[in-house]
């Protein structure tokens, strides 16, 4: 089978990792790179041997024969680019968060559905090696029905120093890392029926929230707590960018601890095993758990584009995650729990 041809929109920080992830797979070829700052696209194109560069998205569709596009631009640009792809009947992969508002995301998903255009979201967090391993252990049922779980992504990492634009976001931690962790909560424990959220802004110089706590009652009956934070408050054991998880069931517990250890405790004792991520040549080993997961996310979407099976992170599915994100803001403003429809 010939490789699927795609264009990438956006030549910023994450484009390096997206392109490197595609290079690990057979079946997809980036034939064009577009960025409104043409010089950025030219640098990235030389790095990855991409033959053509553009600074106008419309020109890309006029001149290239594409099977799909990979949108790696900032969220406020996603809607326009998705509409442009749909107009040219071209499948879309879009970076998270899908849109600036839930209504905008819903409109994008509806547009693609009505046009029959495949629409995927690059939600790689759930593809992390230890989280996939945790899901397998949960599915084995060794700890019985789950009644409570906690997902924790809290770090003192100075995130605003290497990504200063994050300080300008009116809504920050929930839309940046919260969308990932809430998606992981859905992946592990299913859908929520109620949600309550509190947020804080610890850094005085930023516009949005840098700390959030979300408590959900799942349809299964379990209580799931997600703790998010970039307060830069000097944590002793900072596991950035690892997501730590503790799950309680009627017959035992499961802990996804630091350094990718999973410990399962039942009446038979505690059994521990480490599930480290693969280390590709282009990843920073300190951040491999996140960066390496890009490859598996790509592979799942490519499988769907080739007609070999469904993808997990479709636009339709990601709407359910975004519902939790925007409901969290609504709950925090109202100071009350909300029912998730």
137 and 263 in a single domain? The answer is: yes
Answer yes or no: do 137 and 243 share one domain: yes
Please tell me whether residues 25 and 93 are part of one structural domain. yes
The last residue of one of the domains, among 73, 104, 122, is 122
Domain count along the chain? 2
Is 309 buried (19+), middle (13-18) or exposed (0-12) by CB count in 10 A? exposed
Distances, alpha carbon 163 to alpha carbons 157, 160, 241, in Å: 11, 5, 15
Per-residue confidence (pLDDT) for residue 80, from 0 to 100: 97
Structure token pair of residue 67: 């099977």
**Does residue 296 form part of some domain?**
no
CB atoms within 10 A of CB 268: 9
Structure tokens at 107: 């409109």
**Residue 341 has what pLDDT?**
84
Residue 187 lies in a domain: yes
Q: How far apart are CA 292 and CA 285, in angstroms?
A: 9
User: How far, in Å, CA of 9 to CA of 17, rounded?
Assistant: 14
pLDDT value of position 310:
97
> Which parts of the chain fold into alpha helices (H)?
13-23, 38-48, 57-63, 78-87, 102-115, 129-140, 159-162, 173, 179-189, 288-291, 293-305, 315-334
Q: Which domain covers residue 65, as residue numbers?
A: 4-122
Domain end, chosen from 122, 146, 165, is at 122
> Is residue 301 situated within a structural domain?
no
* SS3 category, 30: strand
Residue 53 located in a structural domain: yes
Q: Are 270 and 151 contained in the same domain?
A: yes
One domain for residues 94 and 221: no
Q: Are 98 and 78 in contact (CB under 8 A)?
A: yes
Residue 333 and residue 242 share a domain: yes
Q: Residue 300: inside a domain, yes or no? A: no
CATH code (residue 215) = 3.30.360.10
- 132 and 248, same domain (yes or no): yes
Give the integer Cα–Cα distance in Å for 78 and 204.
Answer: 30
Assess whether 146 and 98 both reside in one domain. no
For residue 311, being part of any structural domain is answered with no
User: Is there a single domain that holds both residue 103 and residue 139?
Assistant: no
Residues 33 and 139 in one domain: no
Residue 265, domain member (yes or no): yes
Query: What is the rounded CA–CA span in Å between residue 174 and residue 307?
Result: 33
Q: What's the pLDDT score for residue 237?
A: 87
Q: What is the pLDDT of residue 236?
A: 87
Whether the CB-CB separation of 169 and 176 falls below 8 Å is answered with: yes
**Whole-number Å distance between alpha carbons of 90 and 175:** 27
Q: Per-10-residue mean pLDDT for the chain, 341 residues long?
A: 94 96 98 98 98 98 98 96 98 96 97 98 98 98 98 94 89 96 98 98 96 98 98 91 98 98 98 98 97 98 98 98 98 98 84
**CA-based radius of gyration for the chain:** 20
Return the bridge partners of 4, or none.
28
| Boundary residue ending a domain (72, 107, 122) | 122
282 and 188 housed in the same domain = yes
The verdict on residue 320 lying in a domain is: yes
43 in Cβ contact with 30 (< 8 Å): no
């Amino acid at each position: 089978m010939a490789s699927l041809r795609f264009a990438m929109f956006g030549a910023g920080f994450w484009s390096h990792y997206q392109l490197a992830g595609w290079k690990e797979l057979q079946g997809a070829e980036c034939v064009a790179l577009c960025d409104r700052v043409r010089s950025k696209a030219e640098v990235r194109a030389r790095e990855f041997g991409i033959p053509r560069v553009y600074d106008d998205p419309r020109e890309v569709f006029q001149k290239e024969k594409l099977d799909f596009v990979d949108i790696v631009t900032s969220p406020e640009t996603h809607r326009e680019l998705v509409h442009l792809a749909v107009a040219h009947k071209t499948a879309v992969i879009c970076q998270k968060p899908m849109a600036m508002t839930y209504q905008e995301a819903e409109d994008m998903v509806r547009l693609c559905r009505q046009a029959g255009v495949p629409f995927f979201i690059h939600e790689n967090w759930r593809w992390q090696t230890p989280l996939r391993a945790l899901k397998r252990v949960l599915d084995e049922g060794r700890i019985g029905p789950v009644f409570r779980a906690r997902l924790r992504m809290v770090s003192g990492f100075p995130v605003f120093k290497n990504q200063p634009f994050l300080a300008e976001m009116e809504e920050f931690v929930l839309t940046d890392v919260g969308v990932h962790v809430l998606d992981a909560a859905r992946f592990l424990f299913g859908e929520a029926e109620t949600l309550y959220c509190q947020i804080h802004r610890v850094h005085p110089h930023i516009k949005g929230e840098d700390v959030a706590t979300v408590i959900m009652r799942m349809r299964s009956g379990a209580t799931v707590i997600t703790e998010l934070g970039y307060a830069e408050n000097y944590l002793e054991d900072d596991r950035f960018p690892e997501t730590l998880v503790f799950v309680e069931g009627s017959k035992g517990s499961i802990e996804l601890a630091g350094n990718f250890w999973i410990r399962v405790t039942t009446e038979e004792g505690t059994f521990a095993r480490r599930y480290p991520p693969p280390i590709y040549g282009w990843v920073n080993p300190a951040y491999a758990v996140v960066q390496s997961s890009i490859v598996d996310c790509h592979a799942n979407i490519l499988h769907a584009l080739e007609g070999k099976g469904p993808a997990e992170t479709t636009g339709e599915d990601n709407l359910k995650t975004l519902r939790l994100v925007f409901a969290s803001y609504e709950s925090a403003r109202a100071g009350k729990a909300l029912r998730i429809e």
